A = this chain, B = another copy of it.
Amino acid sequence: MDLAAKVLKGDVRTAARLITLLEDESPQAIGEIEKLYTHTGQAFIIGVTGAPGVGKSTLVDNLIGAFRKQNMTVGVIAIDPTSALTGGALLGDRIRMQRHAADAAVFIRSLATRGWSGGLAKAAIGAVHVMDAMGKDIIFLETVGSGQVEIDIVKAADTTLLVLAPGSGDEIQTMKAGILESADVIAINKADTEGADRLLSEIESMFSMKALNSNDRIPPVVLTEAVNDKGTDELASALREHRDYLKSSGGLPLRRRARAKLELQEIVEGHIKDMLYNLDGSDFLEKLIDELETGKTSPHRAALEIISRLAGTINQGKGKAKNGF
């Protein structure tokens, strides 16, 4: 069955099914994404990142409203940590952004981090392709994760919105290197609570110091109160202005090339990991570990043997694209 054709017609159920296949790293998904790929490139992709509890989901909910008022269609890909107890997404699609549940122009999908296999950025970019091919004008890529996943999401977006809030601990202190510097727009949410002024002046002084040393664009900081839907229009404007800036400055194609590189890298690493996984339990690997235990080889010599074996497998398998190679 041709899932891609149905997705191109805007069939939401088929799109949801295809995203599930992506999560499961199903080989069928690869072929369908291939068919969709030439129909992508129109959507504006906004990455939303920030610590848990700062109000990212509520802000995105408000932003959906703002973009819908302008008749833009919206997709949301929310990356959720998997709970040990439920085995599924901690914040499922159902409890997310219920306000827009009845709006056919809004498509919201959670991606769970199953087994921490590291294929999440790949699945997320695949889901972006699906929503892009469906014709969504705006796609939010929202992560409640941290570390590598956030960094990857930042790389995969056209515009990165960093959400901060006062009182969520030593916010800036613990901010991961790279996230703050990669922010294109900053929202200080819960702006009516204590500490918001201090957070604002900290951020402003950080960036004014940075401005002395470089000609980089300083990200605008927007104060929001997501629960009261305050600051939403200002935030939506700041995001649109960044998109216009990207277009006028020639930055957009560079970001899209970076996204393409990330996707290629993820696909390549995924293949290599599959091949390593397939070695697990093999006589070849067990023998190497025996040799490690008895001191006959060392980890680095053993690793070189594995790489050499992988290269052999790749060369043997050339052309067999169906099952990965």
Residue positions of A touching B, CB distance < 8 A: 30, 33-34, 37-38, 81-85, 87, 90, 113, 115-116, 118, 145-149, 151, 172-181, 253, 256-257, 260-261, 263-265, 267-269, 271-273, 276, 280, 285, 288-289, 292-293, 295, 298-304, 306-308, 310-311, 314-315, 318, 321, 325
A148 contact set on B, CB distance < 8 A: 116, 118, 147-148
Nearest chain-B residue to A180 (Cβ)? B84
Q: Is A268 within 8 A of B321, CB to CB?
A: no
Q: Is A147 within 8 A of B264, CB to CB?
A: no
Q: Is A295 within 8 A of B84, CB to CB?
A: no
| Known contacts A147-B147, A318-B308; A299/B37 CB under 8 A | yes
Chosen A-B contacts, 30 in total, with CB atoms closer than 8 Å, are A34-B298, A34-B299, A37-B295, A81-B176, A82-B176, A82-B177, A84-B177, A84-B178, A84-B181, A85-B172, A85-B175, A87-B177, A90-B174, A115-B178, A145-B147, A147-B149, A257-B293, A260-B289, A260-B299, A264-B299, A264-B306, A268-B276, A269-B269, A271-B307, A272-B307, A304-B321, A304-B325, A307-B314, A308-B318, A315-B315
Min Cβ gap A289→B in Å is 5
A301 contact set on B, CB distance < 8 A: 34, 321
Nearest chain-B residue to A272 (Cβ)? B272
Q: Is B289 within 8 A of A261, CB to CB?
A: yes
Min Cβ gap A154→B in Å is 11
Which of A176, A311, A318 has the most chain B CB atoms closer than 10 A to its own CB? Answer: A311
Main secondary structure of the interface of A (DSSP, over half): helix
A38 contact set on B, CB distance < 8 A: 295
- Please report the C-alpha to C-alpha distance between residue A85 and residue B261 in the assembled complex, in whole angstroms: 28
Min Cβ gap A268→B in Å is 5
Q: Is B147 within 8 A of A116, CB to CB?
A: yes
Min Cβ gap A285→B in Å is 7
- Please report the C-alpha to C-alpha distance between residue A70 and residue B292 in the assembled complex, in whole angstroms: 31
Min Cβ gap A43→B in Å is 15
Q: Is B179 within 8 A of A84, CB to CB?
A: yes
A34 contact set on B, CB distance < 8 A: 298-301
Min Cβ gap A8→B in Å is 15
